[in-house]
Structure 1
């Protein structure tokens, strides 16, 4: 990069900086804006000149030459700046401004489309690519005459203004004059005088412009161009008023709106200037000097914004007059939406209180003996009445170690959920605080010192932001929690809402008492039926007899050396044990009709692991819902299915001592039982079909699934999984 190219890029960077500097000194001032535009124009032309001088090819240089077509606009822009700085009235004449710029625009077009200004021949000189000036073209001389005329006019006007101005204004004009003189003189020398004298020298017009602008910028910085005037001070005061302010003329045409008003209305100034006042104050009557006296008139009305939204305001109106003649009207207003909102909130609160009292009266009249139905009714009513996203009821389990969700109503989906469980020991601070207080309210539940215990395990996964939790008491003991959970937004809980929630909690307590009494009565009746069932079952299923059969099979197995026969007897023994354990569970449980499958499955699988002790490297994962309790008609075939499939995995899925894992999962969904038995072992053959299997165990599984009217799915990807879905069989009375 040669020195002249460096000068061009330096001028470009300098003028970009100066343009930003001058603009942000006073961005609202038109003079500063015009000087900034000139800076950016010079920056662009300097960069084009740099690219031209550094072009790598003839064609590239030619393209950059054409890109410099904006240079004729510099001088009319300089003259515009001078006219504004000298406060010349010509600026108010739009025709003059049009005539000022048209010749320069024509020169730019001619340079771009013809070779009347510069020739189409590119020449490489010591300072880089350049194009010879077309001195034989009359258009060139006319262009130079026009540009020179504008430059001399600018200097002349600046000098005359400098002569008659005083003080700070004189200093400001001096720097403008000096800046212009530098640009004009250096440009004339390098762009006209030297070329006409056949002296080869690179043009430095843009560098000269950068130096001139540097002088102007110094004046701006040193003397704070432009000087402070009463008009500027008044504009600054009005622009900082927080209330909106509108000024109209005597024809009610808008002449001024302050920034606060423009922001409130969402208009740009040029969009609203000159519009009739009715555009923004549609309900405000026309005012004139007869209807307004010298005092300020205050009233409530509507302000209409750009989007057609009506904004309630308190409006003060006063006349602007001179010698009893109406010049205009000043409107100053305050946005009273917040005040109106408070008034509406008070009315709404009063209405809500009446509605909530009516809801509670209706609920007290409801039948509360059916606990499940009552909970669903209360959570749904509570959620809809208070407009809460989620309302749930949680109860402690009998051993007080767990707290379980009995019902959650989700407002936006209009549905209920159940089944979530938490350990009491994980939330000591929260539960202790709830016992000691009427309730717990948290606007930001995830950061609240008490409710944050639930943040990672419950609040964040469910996107819960705010909570209001009320304890549920029964006979002096806290037995549960009524939880209100907001997911849409952070929410403050009012005292009225807290009282309503406490009333719902009390109704849950009443329902529990009623349900407990009814349940006690039913248990008395059921116990008589259970005794009758027990007597019948003892006659048909005697555990001891099955134990004897199992023992006989074990003895027989110990006397046989044939491994195949020994395995068959062992499998039969396990099947008998699985049925025997059903009866054992039946006799030991409080409920003599239902089998607790959680305890039963754990015992059955552990027994199978002990039987196949060589597979100790296999990991076991048993997960059976506590609520899975089946009658004996369903339990025996289900137990045999588990026995066969777990035995099959232990024997065949993990050969050659490889490690693995077996999952036994049993869930209850509504009235359907889902049993899953999964291992990550060797898997079954790709063409495996349960209906066509030849093994006794899997044939037995298929038959047992049909016996309980179930459906079975087999998946052999990544091991083997059996998924069996069925419903509990109805008890068949025996004669």
Structure 2
């Protein structure tokens, strides 16, 4: 390539106008280099419209007449052969623009009035797609375009792509700043809500512990943290993920490697994080609100030596009004002399909640209802198994997977607190230090199996 062309290319490549984000400055810089390097009178930048039905002039410099031209539009249907040549994404080198198969359509309306004899059109590619052309117009007769000149105009077209990238980065930076500011406001707002919720939770715990009337909820107070922790934890994780994504996008921008796909993915990720944070913080606030209106009795959770069968019989006897009204027969299978040091209050609350669940949910509209409670000791494993079964209507998989969730109930609005099975789970796993498993199918009843240690630490 001629030294003059190399120098012009170098001057354009190091110009701050190219990476300023102001594409108009870059267009003027590049077109002036085209005019100087090719020693022609007219040069312009033309971009295809979104529908690919026309090519529109961004800027055309006419040194012959001292003019700048914009907003010219050439429709595809008026110049089909020219657009056909463009569609091949190749450089058009029209030595005689009046007779060349790609440019002859302009002869009468454009070339002749302006005394244009030859044309060199180089495609502008951006992100792998041809988006327009550099149009170089020679005033006068025919002109042979050299390989150096074609390479020169092609290199300038690549530099124009760099200017477009800078413009897009500038726009993305502005959008990221707005998104970042918006996200920071949302995070501050959600954090404030979170702090308020945690403060309310702390106050509620203190009131529950101090209030004699609410002493029966002592175990539930310990479980509130677990109930509320899940949505709060998700919200905190979402906020952290959003922060990481912003950091990732900032790095891509700094490295000038941010793509549209990465931006869209990042924006979608940020929107999703905001939605997740908002939804879970609302859920946490709702849990606190519901908890204020909930009163579920629980017994003392002290360790005592307990004769298991007699204790279970006492519990069942206390529930006779409930079981009789639902035609329920309760059978207990347990060794008479089985005595354990355990937490009888936890066992009591578990049986109370399970029986109540069976009556309220499992036995509605059914007769000949049966509950079987069995206790078996396994000295080798150091555990005993308490199995509770009913022959009620059972559960679907969807209900069974949610049944231990706090405040989940299929009787919303009819008096159900949605805390019964959550309390059962917490008592079994925390107070009794064991594990609980649930099995059920529609119309096949429910089976709840608790595996509990003989010796509680």
Q: Which has the larger radius of gyration?
A: 1
TM-score under structure 2 length normalisation? 0.37
Say which structure, 1 or 2, has more relative contact order (CA 8 Å, 6+ apart): 2
